[in-house]
Structure 1
Amino acid sequence: MNDKNSTDPELTGELETEAKPTHIVGIGASAGGLEAIEAFFKEMPPDSGVSFVVIQHLSPDHKSLMAELLSKRTRMPVNRAQDGELVEPNSVYLIPPNKNLRLFHGRIILSEQDRDARGINLPIDIFFRSLAEDQGAKAIAIVLSGTGSDGTSGIRAIKEELGMVMVQAEETAAFDGMPRSAIATGLVDYILPPNEMPTQLLSYLKHPFTAKDEYASTMLNDEDGVTRIFALLRESNKIDFTYYKPTTIIRRIERRMAVNQIHDLSDYVRFLESYPVELNSLHKDLLIGVTSFFRDPEAFDAIADKFLPQLFKEAKEDKLRIWVSGCSTGEEAYSLAILCCEVIEQQNLNLDVKIFATDVDREAILAASAGVFAESAVADIEPGMLSKYFYRRDEGFYISRQVREMVVFAQHNLVKDPPFTNIDLISCRNLLIYLQPVLQKRVLELFNFALNPKGVLFLGSSETTGEMGEYFDPVDHKWRIYQSRGRRRQSELSEPAINFDAKRWYNNNRMSGRGMAARMHEEERLLERLVEGVAGDYLPFCLVVSESLELMHVAGDAKDYLQFTTGKVVNDVSKLVIKDLAIPLSTGLQKVFKSKEELIYSNINLNLAEKHKVVNMRLKPLPTKKRQVMMVAVFIEEVRTSTQSSTSSSETYNVGKEAQQRIIDLENELQFTRENLQATVEELETSNEELQATNEELLASNEELQSTNEELQSVNEELYTVNSEYQGKITELTEVNNDLDNLLCNTRVATLFFDENLDIRRYTPEATQLFRVIDQDIGRPISHLSHRLLDVDLVQLAKEVLINETGIEREKINTENGEEFLMRVFPYQIAPDTYSGVVFTFVSTSGLRQAQNKLVEQELRMEALLKVSDAYVLINEQGEIQEVNQALTDLVGYDESELIDQNISILMPDDFATQHDYFIQRYLKEGNSKIIGTTREVPVKRQDGEIINQHLTVAEMVIGQRHWFVGLLKDQ
């Protein structure tokens, strides 16, 4: 039997010694990525201890070819991934065709591709997310050449788990879509050509933070370094990370040190001081916000089905206010806005929903405000909802105007800045888990203050209300949805925000690394066992008491010295000890805490129920370090024999004397307390008067605020009016812009617009036939523009027009393929006598030139006909004479001026003229005549009335849509 899941000890031992990769590297690529992958593996040594999983969009034939090609580039085995296969070090795994690949406990899990309604599948994102979940900080993602945005969403998950991300430099990628989309996230650690990536990868793997198997930070030993980093972060970004989880802070600092190949914290501090860019990168790493649309869909279903309809029903003045805290890049806020739109549409409601989306990261807020998301970000949205609330443009998805206008984005520090008020729903997911309890409590107090009674608090699946549980009712335990009870703690809101104190953070958290806490616990247990073991044999009965008289620890048999009463449990040692010990213990403790010196009482008589006992009491201050609370150890030892005398340093305890002294001390203390109380009363009276005056001022301020609110309301109405006007203007501008686009496209004139710097502003489609220009060239200078024109200097012409502010027109501008154009260059006018740029227009004259040539040719032919010796006449469709030659005028006796524009019947006998007109009309209608192209004998009428017979030859000329007839007359 060779079952790896067997519980056989020997087999288990084999599993434990099985080699595992130090890290798993996921490589994502699509179009043009094969060359980059080959370049990467050519430089990657085969013994790095790392595993590589390659996810590339290729056809099955190409993928089989890819395995063969990679095997020639690397000495590592190249395998097609198999389902259930354990990933081994120094190996390369290729995703099979039409499969998605995931990792689970280091094993490959294959599944069929699940394409959405748009036919989209994002295997790189799927693998990167599973790699982050499975390997944590040991995950490395590499994005190479490809189109689209696959991989962008996955690298966010990698960075959340403290993994590393490399991206191919855009200028070296055959297709820069995937690299450009990944770089735009701001989460990329290295941007390199593929052949330089292996060297940087190996350097990263050798860093102590990357190489260690378990997290056990030594950075907390460097108090000054941590303090300085906190101070730098606060100075540059105004954010205090004091009360963030120490593990999160330290691990992300160490990760940045690994990325920059810095091993010592003090060196990294100097690096931060010298390079503000790195300080900004560290700030981004500490504030990584991993979010997505409808994260945990079941939770959003619960919000949409149960809570939003109830909130809409109870909304005051038909208004609903929602606060999304820690919104990151806006997916959470837009998801809630879409849900609100859906519920409003389903229930046919008329509500004004306003969503306040806030985050401390300004760059995240700017990205969220744009409302533009990559294809990978919207891959999980239902196709129907995607088409309804998004529209696609320029390889991105834009949120619809209806949703965008519901959300207001603002930079907001949740701890320092005032909270919003009258909120019906607060969403704060996966934020509290990064904060220490003191800050969690502070944030929840602000939420409690902001929420309306019965308002809803929507937390992440790993978060609870903690100490603030009494202020919220859980209404959905699985998805951590709570409802406000309406209680208020306004007094706590008046406290100042928690201030930065890196030393306090250091003292509180320096033992919080993994392993350190366990050692502290073991040390405490060891000391406790030691004290219990020697108590009674070597140590007398002992109490440890704090300065507030709180009993902290007991060692030894306490039955004769301590007593517990019924009722509420108290921890005051003066009330816990027996009556005979109460006065000497209270008196002694007061003296020791005041003098900080050791004190011994001897011969204290104790009257117990069954016996009488004499004891000595020793009160010894314990050593105290800075910031530690002072404590006193009280040792009570029974006097064994009556002959035993007290030591010279002790004083015999006299009940009467000590009681008298105790009474005097208490009376002095009482008198002092009375005086303090009287002074306090006077101060309170004064404060009360000041508060009354302040209250009056606040009332006056409130009235002013009310009037200001009315003014703001009127200003708001004006803004609405202005906004409506602007909307109208925008509509008009859109129509004008559409008209202009249609005009430029339909005139079919090649036109180029340049600004005052001679950079390309706009061009018409016809211009692409003369110039090699695409949309990406907008903004490039004219000197970068190549063209097919001969002997034309565009730069010189543009400069000449800009200087002289007059246009230039040139004819017969020829191209490489023989076309001819009329070129006009005019200044771009923006106001009377004000110009800003140049406009080039090119009108094709090739067709006109050909027509002119044909016309000239026809004219030459006509002149030739006019010079022939035979009589010649040209008539149009109406039979009107258009041209005659000298031979004809000599034959008929008319002058040329007498014949032009006269009907041809003037040269015919009357009966023949009528027949001729009928003939022309019939020919034009039927297009068939035996006369055209033949010679026949016809009578010709001279000016003097004489009839002569001539041979007539008729030919037809068609010019355009017009018909012309040519007749030649010859003697018989």
Structure 2
Amino acid sequence: MLYQDLLINVTSFFRDTDTHKYLKEKLFPKLLKRKKPGETLRIWVPACATGEEAYSIAMILLEIQGSQGSTIPVQIFATDLSENAISKARIGAYTKQELETVSPKRIQRFFTKADGNFRVNKGVRDMCVFAPHNILRDPPFSRLDFISCCNLFIYLDTAAQKKAVNTFHYALNNDGFLMLGKSENISHSTHLFTNANNTYKIFSRKINSSAPRLPDLAPRFAPQTAADTPVSSAPSYKSQNNSLSSNSLDFAIDTVLLSDFMPSSVVINHQLEIVQFRGTTDVFLTHPKGKATFNILKMARPEIAFELRNAISKVIKTKHRFRKSGIELKINSTVRFISVEIVPLKIEWNEPLLLILFTEQEPAETYTAQGNTGKSNTLAKDRRIKKLEQELASAQADALTLAQEQEAFTEELQSANEEVVSSNEELQTVNEELETSKEEIESANEELTTTNQELQTRNDLLNESYEYSNAIVSTMHEPMLVLGKDLRVKSANKAFYKKFGVTEEQTEGVLLYDLGNKQWNIPALRELLEDIIPKNSQFYNYEVKHTFLNLGEKIMSLNASRVIQKTHREQLILLVIADITEVRHLLIEKELKEKALLHKEISERKTEKLKLEKAVDERTRELKEANEALEDKNKELVNMNHELEAFTYISSHDMQEPLRKIQIFSGIILEKENQQLSDNGKKYFRLMQQSAQRMQQLIHDLLAFSRLSAAERTFEHINLGILIEEVKTEFNETILQTHARIDAPETCVVRIIPFQFRQLLHNLIGNALKFSNPERPPHIKISCRNSKYDKLKIKALSPSKEYCHITIADNGIGFEEEFSTKIFEVFQKLHGKEEYSGTGIGLAIVKKVVDNHDGIITATSKLDKGTTFNIYIPASPKK
């Protein structure tokens, strides 16, 4: 555990932007261009930590191949000492914070979100091979084109750096490149590499024949035996002029023996290439004519080449040493008998190695043209016959071995054939499964079509219900208001606006008692209205006599009852106003006539009385009919409210369910059947998803807008800076992408409804980021201060209150000043949806939140000069 903790795993994606840009635009295209068809681009990333550097290089290469249409295979070897880091790299899962340096475009293309993290796609992972590795001890990779070893040398001493550079020189091709960190260099190994780009620390490999063929590694040999243990020398002694230790003496003796009595030998790999020479080998090996080669069979003399091939084959197969004696080698007129011993080297290396020892077995014989006796002739023939018999027995054994290998190969071929047949059956099964999947897709498509038709039908019903309810309200002759729980006007019909000569902007969101010249601010009426929702009460024919603006003195009859919207869980008050001024004047006229009749004769009075009573009865009947008509209108309003409740229910539930099905089914098709869909089919499914998402957002915003009135108004003292930081966290990714700057006060305590004001900040800051000028980074300034009315001098504010003035200003695209009030209307958008997305409800929500705080909001702007929102809310709660 301590060892793992000591390892340094500091890395990130695209750590050096400029360097990776150079790799993408210059170096990697050059490496891919010089690769021939069938060749592989091989890259090594030592000390890769948790894999970010390797995956960054893989993403860059995929982007290059996509733009150039290259099909050259790429293989990236990524190694590290830490097995824990390698395990994480193989999984390829990273948090959002670890991807801060990756662009959203790359995240969308190369990552898949899973379990709250982002995982590298399989196509990128398949390019990378992760393995534990020590570059100072373990054998390196070979035939590499590029090595990225950034910020490793800063942790190594000079000796270790030299050793690592030697390893990299061996691993790279002649035209390969090495990249180091910005603070690293290879000044101690300039004979191996030359500087290709000093800015980005990229070096090219020199073709250096003096460099060792194999790097100077520390191979792990088999445990030392007793025979390998140095024998201690005799006790050391000292003389007056000379002093020599036993170790120095042993080393000197070993040096003489190795230099003068080294047996003729070579080291080869399994490709039969000679790696090293030892001793004098010119008696056994020669240089063949033609192209230079280190192949042991081509360099061996013809007399020993065949035996050498068989012996090497046996050692590779058995992995045991093998000795072949009695090989006759004739050089000029001299015949030599030699033996060949092949020993597998048991060391850890990047490839297996074999040691071949050549030794002379018997003294050489010299043949002359004359002088040979008959006895010598006979002995030579006997020796020759014996040798031939031995070679015949050896050839028979080789033939038997070859037959056995042929038989084993035939069995393996038969087994492979059976596997091919089995694979064909599996492919047939897969084909059947694909057919089944196709049928399932067709079925899902039919379900989507049916769901779409149902959604269209529901939408038509919704439109019909809305139009029907709207027609009822608009055709009523009596003025009507819908009040919220806080007695602010939520809506009014056309009769109200016509009767009192006001506009929607002057009415909606305004407290009932502040309408007009505050004609409704009557204590008794306030008491009645404030009791309706808590006590579920109602009242009829409450009369108000007042001099109204534009109307003069009028007598109004008020009728009110509670209305509940179940879907929004909102309680409203329906207030109907009837002008009974003429009725009251008729009653007064009746009283005057009655008094006048008192002065007339009794007969005339009786006659007139009868006439008057008849007129009174007629008037009474008319009043009764008027009251009955008013009650009928109240019932119509109740029915209309029920229909509005049904409309809200449909919006929040029935429409969202089909939308979710459309998104789920279209997502399944795009994910699982992507290969079977045409480009147009993929396009239409994506358009379907986008349309469903926009409609779902619209429904969500409508519900949020309507809930603002139903929500409980619980005020709290809150530091505005905390809410601003929470909103900035939500837009963190957008802020990083656009390099936005948000200046806000650290401390500003206000009395607000926290969740509503947080929604206000979210909408205004989100709009400032969305509608920013692409030519400059967004800059948002937020300020907050308390001011009295005499400093603000805004008519809509109360002179007796102190207000908190909050300003939110940006440097975005702005808008024309004529739209400064229109932007707060529902569904109001000043820009096309192709340029900027949205539902047109965001600023309407902002306006309603400010209204819920008994405040006002204004907007000032100029095209391309930014926008400033001024918010004024009471600095203390309303009494």
Fold match (TM-score > 0.5): no
Provide the TM-score with structure 1 as the length reference. Answer: 0.27
Provide the TM-score with structure 2 as the length reference. Answer: 0.30
